[in-house]
Structure 1
């Protein structure tokens, strides 16, 4: 029974119009390359691997012959794929039959060998399965119409051998034009629709569907099959698929198929359209990395200040400042305290004071000579808090990368905080000038008191007790005794008053000294926080902004 081919949409009516984006393929590949570079280590690794593989394949295909169009015939067992391959070639090049499988390796028939060798090597077609068409073997006008065609006959996609299935997958992913040969009995086979047609959504322009073996159907049955097949394909995302009907056995529709191939070869556009379709499909997977909200450019001042405050608390800045205030007070009292009082203290040892000084020295020595032993929990909380505000609205993978950037130099924080404290603290040997002045004044008063006591002793010895002749008149004059006593009392009182006033000044100076010291330590911690935390976060945000801009270009190339 021979059935006539029912009318189907012509290639011009059903195939996706030529894409202007194909002319900008190089630009789109450059954008994709930048996306891969920006997303490496940040975006899902499987997506990065697929993008890198596409870039590599596109580069290799574009370097190879642009004069040839690679067309792969794919189909299941018994669909007549190899018979159709032989019919187009005009020779029995590929084995046919009902045995499963018949085609065990891809066969290639080439019209025009010039420059095809490297392309066939890249396709990994075995030498014994390469065939060339020459004018002596073709009918009138056939060679010219198909010049530049590389027609592949693939193993069955439903083969029981895993190696055959892998080979089909490989060639379906690299062919410029994919031709699926289906038969009326298995055109709705779940395996081919699920494994291939659902994955080829968006590849309608480089996919051709052939319903073969129509000689087994009545004309109205052919029309019904084509209608049902189109419904299935469109439901799977292949809008406006090109469907041809053929009978390789009866020769029906074969010439129409050859004409379609001739048009594709003459246009020399299939390889570009295939790469553009692959890029479109891949870019759709990137769309989940495009956040709807415009990302922040930097960490806001409030969160930055909160980070500095948290790091300062974790480093113990308030405690260090308090210790320095106490150390300042104790050292100042050693210099400007009333010597008489210091002598009394030395004669009556104060163990609490010695303990306090020892603890201060140990605490300060540890703070200024080693990395700060900051509370890790406080640091972790501070690092988490500083990124929470800026990651809102970012895709999950970029939220993770921004958080990781904030923690990328966390191990350097203890040493950096310790350095900030050490650089802020002045040398322990520094002594303010006013301490020396007060100390000198107090020793002058002590000298005056001692002189008064010597004078008073001389007057008592020579003027009162008449122990001998006074060497000086003032030493024998008992009338000066009240004045000498007044001098001694005044110098001692003035010394005590100076010591009391100095204590008040010391308290005020120690407080100011502590405040200045704490300010310098916080300045150092601010620098460390910006260098080790804020700048890495802001650099990561800048990378995301660039990635987002590049992705916007890739998603909508016609606008950009």
Structure 2
């Protein structure tokens, strides 16, 4: 019987030895990149994709720790495809049951060429020990006429249950081994090679695994020689239409002489190259990386909120915290406090004789009252904060994938509930201490009270002049208080002192007004500084950090995509 086999050339052994370490390094790099994608994407992108990727990373780690000298090959197919007969033909022994009754294979059967290191691998594959067979001299026929036992050293060949079995446990068994096999061999027959269940459930989902997939058209002994090529061409057309690039198709027959030689040669080459394990994992990675690529945009991502929007946000939060009103109140308090030092004491005494509402407001204690007002979310209302944050991330998220745009927006509002209290604390810390009195205030106060003393002495002098000089209450009074003619001069002195006190107070108040304005500007600057720190800590930095995470995710995905063929 004529068979169709692909041209598979065995590479030189030296080339294999050089390429395997490089492939292993590339695989390790790609697995590390995939791990970074999972870490960066956790909580941000599709959880199902992350779970699937984590499962692959776990599976890859376990497989790489197990024997690299063995290649796991699965024979999978539908009912009646003859995969168990093909399994027995390759093994050279009747190890897997065959017959008319279906299904014949209910558990995976394994035949191993080379037992060293195969035990842990079979345990990991969860192959029942009752269905493990070693292809050693004790099991070989005395006269096989074939040297395949040596050439297949390192092969772990699995015969799986039917993928279209009515038993769900059989289908689950197929799904499990298809996920972990190094080389996938799908056995089809001329009558059902277009089976919808096979193509829908396995061929299409594993279309990117063409490099580790082999399609075997079995039972070609049922076809005429000219029908074989037509059947292979139609199968190839169907596979290519489903995305399996350059599919490898073999034809076999378990009843014709040499009908499985082509299949055996492919297995020999695969086992000798020892690349199937790495190629399978690479194919699994490629399949997932394409899905990760859907979560990254092509353009260069922004690194932070632009300066204009950041400045607008700081301004809005400054207004929300009431910083301008606080600065104005503190300016007024500064002026009032200065009045206690540089004001004309006599004018204050006169003012106290009247009802003064400002005095009742206890403005000298304003700082303590303001500090108490900013210990909670009283300084900035939550609604004002929310309005300030509205749309702050629109510019940086407009070109991001939706999942990442959502995570950046969430980062911008991650501390929204903390902002009112944090803004209140920032204002509280910016309030100045009123016990720090400028030295010139004390000098002016000393001067003013000296003038008050002179005023009091002048008034007393005038009184004594009137008593002793005008009314002559005593005839033995000193000349300074007994001469009525001194009254105008003392009056002039009193007027000068009063005028000097009022003039000093007025001049100092003008100076205080200028100092108060500078004081208010300085305090506004300090409050804005602290509000800027809060804004950066609670809004701008979280957004920048999230954008940096996205940039790392995008760069890692691009690197992994760059390794794909």
TM-score after normalising by structure 2 = 0.91
Residue in structure 1 matching 2:30, options 28, 31, 51: 28
Deviations 1:304-363 (Å, cap 9, x if unpaired)? Answer: 222222221222111211221222222222333322222222222134652484995685
* Cα displacement (A) at 1:117: 0.6
Q: How many Å separate the matches in 2 of 1:199 and 1:299?
A: 41
Deviations 1:483-516 (Å, cap 9, x if unpaired)? Answer: 1111122222222233333333333322221111
What is residue 13 of structure 2 aligned with on the other side?
none
Which segment is superposed worse, 167-176 or 244-253?
A: 244-253
Which segment is superposed worse, 367-376 or 460-469?
A: 367-376
Indicate yes or no: 2:393 matched with 1:396.
Answer: no
- Alpha-carbon contact 1:69-1:150 (below 8 Å) kept: yes
* Cα displacement (A) at 1:177: 0.6
CA shift in 2, pair 1:358/1:336, >3 Å: closer
Indicate yes or no: 2:207 matched with 1:201.
Answer: yes
What is residue 122 of structure 2 aligned with on the other side?
120
* Cα displacement (A) at 1:107: 0.7
Q: How many Å separate the matches in 1 of 2:219 and 2:475?
A: 154
CA shift in 2, pair 1:316/1:359, >3 Å: farther
- Alpha-carbon contact 1:75-1:181 (below 8 Å) kept: yes
Q: How many Å separate the matches in 1 of 2:63 and 2:28?
A: 12
Q: How many Å separate the matches in 1 of 2:318 and 2:411?
A: 21
CA shift in 2, pair 1:558/1:255, >3 Å: closer
Instruction: Please give the secondary structure, in 1, of the residue aligned with 2:373.
Output: helix
- Alpha-carbon contact 1:155-1:165 (below 8 Å) kept: yes
Instruction: Please give the secondary structure, in 1, of the residue aligned with 2:89.
Output: helix
Which segment is superposed worse, 328-337 or 408-417?
A: 408-417
Indicate yes or no: 2:256 matched with 1:237.
Answer: no
Residue in structure 2 matching 1:553, options 559, 562, 565: 559
* Cα displacement (A) at 1:116: 0.8
Number of positions where the alignment pairs a residue of Structure 1 with one of Structure 2: 553
- Alpha-carbon contact 2:305-2:396 (below 8 Å) kept: yes
Residue in structure 2 matching 1:68, options 67, 70, 80: 70
Q: How many Å separate the matches in 2 of 1:525 and 1:218?
A: 86
Residue in structure 2 matching 1:476, options 474, 482, 494: 482
Equivalent residues in 2 for 1:48-447 (5 A)? Answer: 48-136=50-138, 137-138=140-141, 139-140=144-145, 141-250=147-256, 253-351=259-357, 353-355=359-361, 357=363, 364-370=370-376, 373-447=379-453
Q: Provide the alpha-carbon RMSD of the alignment.
A: 2.6
- Alpha-carbon contact 1:22-1:276 (below 8 Å) kept: no
Q: How many Å separate the matches in 2 of 1:368 and 1:204?
A: 67
Q: How many Å separate the matches in 2 of 1:104 and 1:175?
A: 18
Instruction: Please give the secondary structure, in 2, of the residue aligned with 1:202.
Output: helix
Q: Structure 1: 5+ residue runs without aligned partners?
A: none
- Alpha-carbon contact 2:97-2:104 (below 8 Å) kept: yes
Q: How many Å separate the matches in 1 of 2:101 and 2:333?
A: 97
- Alpha-carbon contact 1:247-1:253 (below 8 Å) kept: yes
Deviations 1:130-170 (Å, cap 9, x if unpaired)? Answer: 11112352423131122211110111111122222121111
What is residue 45 of structure 1 aligned with on the other side?
47
Q: How many Å separate the matches in 2 of 1:470 and 1:247?
A: 155
CA shift in 2, pair 1:244/1:558, >3 Å: closer
Which segment is superposed worse, 19-28 or 77-86?
A: 19-28
Q: How many Å separate the matches in 2 of 1:390 and 1:377?
A: 23
Q: How many Å separate the matches in 1 of 2:313 and 2:433?
A: 28
Q: How many Å separate the matches in 2 of 1:115 and 1:494?
A: 108
CA shift in 2, pair 1:352/1:283, >3 Å: same
CA shift in 2, pair 1:6/1:110, >3 Å: closer
Q: How many Å separate the matches in 2 of 1:6 and 1:111?
A: 25
Q: How many Å separate the matches in 2 of 1:12 and 1:231?
A: 24
- Alpha-carbon contact 2:41-2:553 (below 8 Å) kept: yes
